Amino acid sequence: MSLRERWKTERLQASAYDYAVQNRYLSRLGARVLWNYDITHLRQNIAAQDPSALTLDIPCGGGLAVGDNPRHIAADLSWTMLTRARRKTATLLQADIYALPFPTATFDACVTYNGLHCLPDPAAAVAELARVLRPGGTLRGTTIVRGTSRDPLIRLMQRKGLFGPSGTITDVRTWLTAAGLTNIILTPSGAITGFTAQRPPDPAPGKIGTHHPPPSAKVD
């Protein structure tokens, strides 16, 4: 089974992962023990999202970053994750991060938390997220990176078919730069690096941030 198909179809694994992530005690303990990561950074990152921005959240998992906001489009390849996210929002979409069903320059913001290290081609995913960003829009996320004391655990996850090739902090910067993004900020914590980057704005900044109705994206 390919890495993509595993994350798309596995139910028990997805449910167990989401349960741990949603539980504040387990997520804090797991992040610290497994990845030497202070998960407070992730929660602060999520809290800093602009609720008025039309936002694409992929992979949304069980909806950690999702609220009852019709301008926040939660997408994932896994039906199990979308079913769990349904508890928090009805604005859901099953989508492939490599081929997003949106026109270029659709979203004010894209967020991708703890997902890139699970992908076979994270650089292609970043490029596709950059494509659907409007000029001046922001990409925000986190990913597990190689080059820390947790490399043996990363290799174990790769052997089990749970992680893709992952990347180093330098690779993350390269993915963002190659996608045409600027104003890159990387915030490493243990084996996890947070990142923000911006699609360069248009010469006419008055056109940025024009409010459009969110795309129709509901799971029936």
| Domain contains 210 | no
Distance of CA 145 to the CA centre of its chain: 14
Does 218 reside within a domain? no
Confirm if 70 and 92 have CB atoms less than 8 A apart. no
Report angle CA 56, 137, 189 to the nearest 5 degrees. 75
Residue 214 within any structural domain of the chain: no
In this structure, is residue 208 part of a structural domain?
Answer: no
CA distance 197 to 207: 20
Residue 220 lies in a domain: no
212 in a domain, yes or no?
no
Q: What residues make up the domain containing 69? A: 3-203
pTM of the model: 0.85
Residues of the chain under the 70 pLDDT cut? 1-14, 19, 204-220
CATH number at residue 114: 3.40.50.150
Reported as a single tens digit per residue, the pLDDT across 182-201 is 999 999 999 999 999 999 99
pLDDT of residue 122: 98
Which tokens go with 171? 């690779």
- pLDDT number for residue 6: 60
Total domain count for the chain?
1
Q: Does any domain span residue 26? A: yes
pLDDT digits (tens, 9 = 90+) for 99-110: 999 999 999 999
- pLDDT value at residue 151: 98
The answer to whether residue 179 sits within a structural domain is: yes
Query: H or E element: which one contains 158?
Result: helix 151-159
pLDDT at 220: 41
